Amino acid sequence: MEAHGRTSTRRALLRSGAYLATAATGLTAAAATTTTAHADDRRRRAAAAYPPTHWIPASTSNYRVSSRPTSYPIDFVVIHVTQETFPDAMKIFQDPAKQVSAHYMVASADGYIGQFVREKDVAWHAGNKDYNNRSIGIEHEGWVDDPKWFTDEMYASSAALTAAVCDRFGIPKTRDHIIGHVEVPGTDHTDPGPLWDWPRYMSLVNKAYAPGMRRTWRRWRA
């Protein structure tokens, strides 16, 4: 996670999905104002066989509206680790003072995917304007020094998402184009860290086939 203008506070709170259902319900009115545009986006995404996602919009102060890939080509997927729980990272994305966001975030326990910024728009996640313009940012709930957060469900769900993004935008499914935040030029971040299993992840990306997925996606409850 990368602040656009200032660094977000890191808070090591207990792992919990308790806040999500309440917060997502509170966003219903805001989400309704963008129903038509988001429906169009879903139709385009369906052709690329995306896994199930839930729309949880970030503050409009935390990303830049654009028209990618017309305005900028999309060449990279950037893999992040939140250093926060999912609920806390969600609050950061919704706080207009934080100046940070990502397109997606994947939960540890069951691979639940929240989408916070549309792919056509520029999320502020990489700490490098050029890479922000040309990438999709995917956050993963957890901490870089604690591998128990990197569950089978998280790897599988994230890999299916990354594969769909790559298919949609013609991004090669290679480590030259699917990169860690640490690999973005000029960054001072270390995520996803040495405990992220890149060989396993890339194998899953290249084997992913979302249309045949019959997984049970747990709902977040208070």
As annotated, the active-site residues are 139
Residues whose CB falls within 8 Å of the CB of residue 219, separated by 6 or more in sequence, listed in order: 21
Give the dihedral of Cα atoms 124, 128, 133, 136; nearest 10 deg. -60
What are the angstrom distances between the C-alpha of 65 and each of 11, 49, 120, 130, 143?
A: 29, 24, 8, 15, 30
Burial class for 170, CB neighbours closer than 10 Å (0-12, 13-18, 19+): exposed
Give the dihedral of Cα atoms 98, 39, 111, 120; nearest 10 deg. -50
Q: What is the DSSP letter of 123?
A: E
- Distance, CA of 201 to CA of 204 (rounded, Å): 5
Q: At 121, which amino acid appears?
A: D
- Distance, CA of 69 to CA of 169 (rounded, Å): 8
Residues whose CB falls within 8 Å of the CB of residue 129, separated by 6 or more in sequence, listed in order: none
